[in-house]
Amino acid sequence: MKRLLVMALSVVLISQPAWCDGHLNPLQGRTVRINNGETAIVRGKSPRSDRLSYEYEKMQTPLRGNFIVSDVLLPTDKWHLWDGSAIPRFDVSKQTPENYHESHNHYQNMLSEVVNATPGANSIPVWGESIAAVKGANAWGGFFSARSGCYKGDLIGKYLPNGLDRGCGPGFDAQLTGLEVDVLNAGKPGVYPNKAKHGVQVVGFGNPNGQALSVISENFDREHQYRRGQFESILYAQNSLQPDYGRFIVMDFDKANIGLDMRKPLFSQGAMDFHSEGVGTGIMLDSGRSGELYGGLRWPGDKADKRGWLTARLGAGGFRIVSNDNTREIMVIDNNGGIFLNGTDVAGHSPLNGEILVSKKSLLFYIILGLMALMVANAIMIRIMVRSALRSART
């Protein structure tokens, strides 16, 4: 019954001379193929015209689909503006950052849009739903591929027009974007208490899930010599953060096991690299109440010393080094310049908290050191006195 309905609808769409008050039939010039329960609408000459899937060329992966839309975009195709008026393609060699919004050629094979004029309603142009209903089944909400390929004798090349220069060879290159999500906000900024504006929102339901965002590459689970397709960077913010109140990464939860887990990778140029230019630009602890580690000039506006300095700004209480078991203070530095080793003031300042805590070993060491100093002083004095008496006797 389903196949009969699809076939009947296809016949009606294709045979209809006009569509929607004078507009052309949306399926005119296309081939509709129905085979083994799979419906494919194909425009242009492509491998799909012959029921071939170039995505899995020469692979033994079993394939099956339901509804497929395929198109071929050629240099000879006509283009139009937003109002339907004809216009030639833009020469992208004249593209600049200033004119980019109107200096690229945009094509979509299938566009789904919703105009939401109902407050409180969620408008969703595309919903990908998949459910794993039996043990061992895999479910994907969506799948997007952006690929490039250009070599002599490939399947795509056999279907492209003769004489079309593909630019194959060592200099072949093409821009790839797996998925672009545009957020065009004409309302208030997306910060509390305003309504949120998300680029990508990942929501978990039910039992605890795994990774909210997982980035992998080809053969990621094999030895390093077999891995391909790694990324130059995983997260890249290119002039896209609000400079006054923007925060690059926000962790808004009560409790977790580890904040940043980098126990496995070994970095060749540092685990982290920061640009720091004085107070407030380094690593803050408790918003600076417990101190900060920053770099830059030794003093603000220092014109004599242009070298980079690493500065540890003390917390409101000071700085301390404790034993591995976190039970003893080995070294303490307070904001008055006091330096204490094992509780003993070694800088000549007032004791920390009004008292000095000295261990028995340290006290014994200092007593012995004092006695030795006293003995040396007495020996020197006796020697001087003896020499003075001998001189007097000789004279």
Half-sphere exposure (Cβ direction) of 330: Cα atoms closer than 13 Å = 6
Q: Which residue has the tokens 């030895």?
A: 223
Q: Determine the pLDDT at residue 395.
A: 61
**Using only C-alpha atoms, what is the Rg of the chain?**
37
Query: How does pLDDT run across 155-204, given as a tens digit for each residue?
Result: 988 888 888 889 898 999 998 998 999 999 999 998 889 999 999 999 99
pLDDT beyond 90 at 126: yes
The share of the chain scoring above pLDDT 70, in percent, equals 87
Query: How does pLDDT run across 28-66, given as a tens digit for each residue?
Result: 678 888 888 889 999 988 888 888 888 888 889 999 999
pLDDT beyond 50 at 15: no
pLDDT beyond 50 at 350: yes
Report residue 26's pLDDT band, with 50, 70 and 90 as the boundaries: low
Q: What is the largest CA-CA distance in the chain?
A: 142
Residues 6+ apart with CB under 8 A from 169: 150
Record the pTM.
0.69
End-to-end CA distance of the chain: 139
Mean confidence (pLDDT) of the chain: 84
pLDDT beyond 90 at 7: no
User: Distance (Å, rounded) from C-alpha 76 to C-alpha 258?
Assistant: 56
CA angle 28, 30, 36 (to 5 degrees): 130
Residue 313 DSSP one-character state: E
Q: If we measure between CA atoms, which residue out of 47, 49, 67 comes closest to residue 58?
A: 47
pLDDT beyond 60 at 359: no
Q: Determine the pLDDT at residue 129.
A: 92
pLDDT beyond 60 at 88: yes
Reading the block at residue 24, the tokens are 């052309």
Q: What sign results for the dihedral spanned by CA atoms 274, 280, 285, 291?
A: positive
More confident residue, 308 or 392: 308
User: Distance (Å, rounded) from C-alpha 336 to C-alpha 318?
Assistant: 9
Half-sphere exposure (Cβ direction) of 16: Cα atoms closer than 13 Å = 16
Q: What order of strands is seen across the sheet that includes strand 283-284?
A: 283-284, 292-296, 309-313
Are the beta carbons of 49 and 31 closer than 8 angstroms?
yes
**Mean pLDDT lowest among 47-56, 93-102, 364-373:** 364-373
Q: If we measure between CA atoms, which residue out of 367, 345, 324 comes closest to residue 333?
A: 345
Query: How does pLDDT run across 219-265, given as a tens digit for each residue?
Result: 888 998 999 989 899 999 988 999 988 988 999 999 999 999 999 99
